[in-house]
Amino acid sequence: MHRSPTSLASWVGVIHRTLVSCGCDADGILLAAGIAPPSLQTPQARIPIEQTSRLWQLATAAARDAGFGIRVASHVRANTFHALGLSLAASPTLHDAFLRLLRYFRIVSDAGELGFTVDGDWARFELMAPDGYGISDESVDAFMSCIVRMCRSLASPQRADPVEVKLRRPRPADTTAFDAAFRCPIHYGSDRNELRFALRELDAPLRDGDAHLARHHDPILVKMLADVEKDNLQHRVLGLLVELLPRGGATQERVAERLGLSLRTLQRRLQEQAMSYSDILDEARLTVARRLLSQEVYALGEIAYLLGFSDLSGFSRFFKRATGEAPGAHRHRLLTRPRP
């Protein structure tokens, strides 16, 4: 059983402030989610993701607002993410800010991974939230909107709007808040959560950028990151495998590289924490298999290949042993169930 991922209490505090602004019983909703309001008085405390996910569900229902996540982003302050927020604000370019965010994101939450890639004249920023933790659409809305607001704030008076947004969430009945937040084409029901920017805008020098000041916060951030990672290596490996399996190249060597570790160090740390790489791989395979089986575009043989099985029969045995159901039967049940 792996340890539960967590989020900073200050991020939960933003949800609390938003509920107060909506006239909701913020303390009562926190208690219903299993979170003691006094815990927010220690901003660097960490809240298990199961509780924050429950909080998002209850808060969205109480606010009766399809754009609740977008509203939450508007309550984020410069110090919400502590030294990380200050470091981002001092970044000499938005490109540098994104790289810093990738390096230290797990301080905010280790329930997902970030990706940042450059493709010609474009840069793509992706939030990868593994299935299985109940991460809500609204939490993704809030985080992606928060990133866009950060870009605009740091770049002002220069332009730093995304040119395209992809969201895995279904299209909400009312898109007004989303249109106002992103100001660009939004593709709902996508296969990823992604922001696309013009690279030239991310590479433009920022008026208030100060590389020396940004680096000044690094020792604090390194310590905070170490405190998070010492208990969550298994989750980080799981998250990377869930990301890499559908794209190919999900080797133990590649996972170690992404973690900034040698293969021997990764194996030693897993052994020290009584964790099995093969067990984590099986959990990741099951998570990805369920996701791909829900999409008709993937043939069963293709799914078996992506998950690293030598043939379809090996995948079928694995899936049935884990779920009690053959992959084909699982897909049929998913695709033929009545839709609300």
Whole-number pLDDT of residue 275: 82
Rounded Cα distance, 329 and 287, in Å: 17
Domain topology for 232-336: Arc Repressor Mutant, subunit A (1.10.10)
Least confident interval from 183-192, 197-206, 285-294, 299-308? 285-294
250 pLDDT more than 90: no
User: Going by C-beta distance under 8 Å and a sequence separation of 6 or more, which residues neighbour residue 219?
Assistant: none
2 pLDDT more than 60: no
Cis (ω within 30 of 0) for the bond into 157? yes
Neighbours of 185 (CB within 10 A): 12
3 pLDDT more than 80: no
Whole-number pLDDT of residue 101: 94
Least confident interval from 34-38, 128-132, 246-250, 310-314? 128-132
Check for a shared fold between 6-211 and 232-336: no
**10-68 residue pLDDT tens:** 999 999 999 999 999 999 999 999 999 988 888 778 898 889 999 999 999 999 998 99
1 pLDDT more than 60: no
Closest CA to 163 of 187, 183, 188: 183
Rounded Cα distance, 48 and 225, in Å: 16
**Using N-to-C axis directions, what is the helix angle for 137-155 and 49-63, rounded to 10°?**
90
State the average pLDDT over residues 321-325: 88
Structure tokens at 230: 């010492």
Whole-number pLDDT of residue 132: 62
State the average pLDDT over residues 300-305: 92
* Summary mean pLDDT of the chain: 89
**199-217 residue pLDDT tens:** 999 999 999 898 888 888 8
339 pLDDT more than 50: no
Whole-number pLDDT of residue 188: 97
User: Going by C-beta distance under 8 Å and a sequence separation of 6 or more, which residues neighbour residue 320?
Assistant: 326, 327
pLDDT band of residue 227 (cuts 50, 70, 90) is: confident
Q: Return the CATH number of 6-211, one of 3.30.950.10, 3.30.70.260, 3.90.930.12, 3.90.1520.10.
A: 3.90.1520.10
228 pLDDT more than 90: no
Listed by start position, the domains of the chain span 6-211, 232-336
Rounded Cα distance, 301 and 288, in Å: 14
State the average pLDDT over residues 82-111: 91
131 pLDDT more than 80: no
193 pLDDT more than 70: yes
Rounded Cα distance, 30 and 59, in Å: 9
3-state secondary structure 177-246: HHHHHHCCCEECCCCCEEEEEEHHHHHCECCCCCHHHHHHCHHHHHHHHHHHHCCCHHHHHHHHHHHHHH
Whole-number pLDDT of residue 173: 93
Rounded Cα distance, 178 and 66, in Å: 9
Q: 290-303: string of b/e by CB count within 10 Å (b at 16+)?
A: bbbbeeeebebeeb
pLDDT band of residue 87 (cuts 50, 70, 90) is: very high
State the average pLDDT over residues 238-248: 82
